[in-house]
Amino acid sequence: MRTDERSPRRVVPTELAALAAGVTQATIRKWSSRGKLTRHGNPGRAKYDLDEILSLLAEKETPRD
């Protein structure tokens, strides 16, 4: 869903991903386990793409007919 594949991924740890999304860290982990977010990083050091989080939040705000 990235529009410009040449730009570097902006990944942040779970804590900052939760702050950016306005949700708990547990919610970020649930979204990842349900396939809504891609988990990056090494085992024990999860990181999430900020653009992917913002895209997910935008989808949630879009009213459905």
Q: Domain coordinates of the chain in residue numbers? A: 11-61
Band of residue 4 on the pLDDT scale cut at 50, 70, 90: low
How wide is the angle at C-alpha 30 spanned by C-alphas 61 and 50, nearest 5°? Answer: 55
| pTM score of the predicted model | 0.79
How would you class 25 by CB atoms within 10 Å of its CB: exposed for 0-12, middle for 13-18, buried for 19 or more?
A: middle
Single-letter residue type at 26: A
* pLDDT per position as a tens digit, 27-44: 999 999 999 999 999 998
Segment 11-16 mean pLDDT: 97
Give the model's pLDDT for residue 9.
84
For domain 11-61, which CATH number applies: 1.10.10.10, 3.40.190.10, 2.102.10.10, 3.40.50.150?
1.10.10.10
